[in-house]
Amino acid sequence: MQAPDDDIQASGPRWFRQLRRAVLWAPWVVATLAVVYGVGRFGADEPVAYRGIAEHFKYGSTGGERESGFPYWIWQALPKICPEHLPGDGYASLGMIYEPGKDLPVGVSKRFHLGIDRVFLNCAVCHASTVRDAPGAAPRLVLGMPAHRFDIRAFESFFFNCASSAKFRTEFIVPQIEALNGGLSWLDRNLVYPVAIGLMRERLLMLKERFAFVFDQPQWGPGRVDTFNSAKVLFNFPMHQLPPKELLGASDFPSIWLQGPRMLRDDGKRMELHWDGNNTHTEERNKSAAFGTGTTPPTIELGAIARVEDWLLNLQPPAWPYAIDAELAQRGFALYERYCAQCHGRDGRDFSGPRVGHVTPIGEVATDRARLDSYTYELAVNQATLYAGYPHRFRHFRKTFGYANMPLDGIWLRAPYLHNGSVPTLRDLLEPAARRPRSFYRGNDVYDPRRVGFVADRAADGDRRFFLFDTSLPGNGNEGHEGAAYGTELPGADKDALVEYLKTF
Ligand code: HEC
Ligand code: HEC
The set of residues, in sequence order, having a beta carbon less than 8 Å from that of 89 and lying 6+ positions away, is: 79, 463
Ligand 1 centre to CA of 285 (Å) is 7
Q: Cα(402)–Cα(415) distance, rounded to whole angstroms? A: 21
Q: Cα(417)–Cα(413) distance, rounded to whole angstroms? A: 10
Q: Cα(334)–Cα(231) distance, rounded to whole angstroms? A: 42
Most confident of 44-48, 237-241, 400-404: 400-404
pLDDT in tens, 415-452: 999 999 999 999 999 999 999 999 999 999 999 999 99
Q: Cα(466)–Cα(461) distance, rounded to whole angstroms? A: 8
Q: Cα(435)–Cα(429) distance, rounded to whole angstroms? A: 9
For position 9, what pLDDT does the model report? 53
Ligand 1 centre to CA of 126 (Å) is 7
Asked if residue 7 has pLDDT above 60, the reply is: no
- The Cα-based distances of 292 to 62, 208, 226, 286, 289 in angstroms read 10, 16, 11, 10, 5
Ligand 2 atom 37: residue of nearest CA: 340
Asked if residue 4 has pLDDT above 70, the reply is: no
Ligand 1 centre to CA of 250 (Å) is 13
Mean pLDDT of 324-344: 98
Candidates 272, 469, 486: which one to mutate for ligand 2, based on the most atoms within 8 Å of Cβ?
486
Averaged pLDDT score across all residues of the chain: 93
Confidence of residue 312 (pLDDT cuts 50, 70, 90): very high
- The Cα-based distances of 91 to 269, 388, 480 in angstroms read 43, 37, 36
pLDDT in tens, 121-163: 999 999 999 999 999 999 999 999 999 999 999 999 999 999 9
Residue that wins the pLDDT comparison between 389 and 108:
108
- Residue 46's Cβ-side half-sphere holds a number of Cα atoms within 13 Å equal to 9
Q: Which ligand is nearest to the CA of 404?
A: 2
The binding-site residues of ligand 1, defined as CB within 6 angstroms of any ligand atom, are 62, 121, 123, 125-127, 152, 225, 227, 251, 253-254, 256, 259, 273-275, 282, 285-286, 289-290, 292-293, 305, 308, 406
Q: Cα(60)–Cα(237) distance, rounded to whole angstroms? A: 31
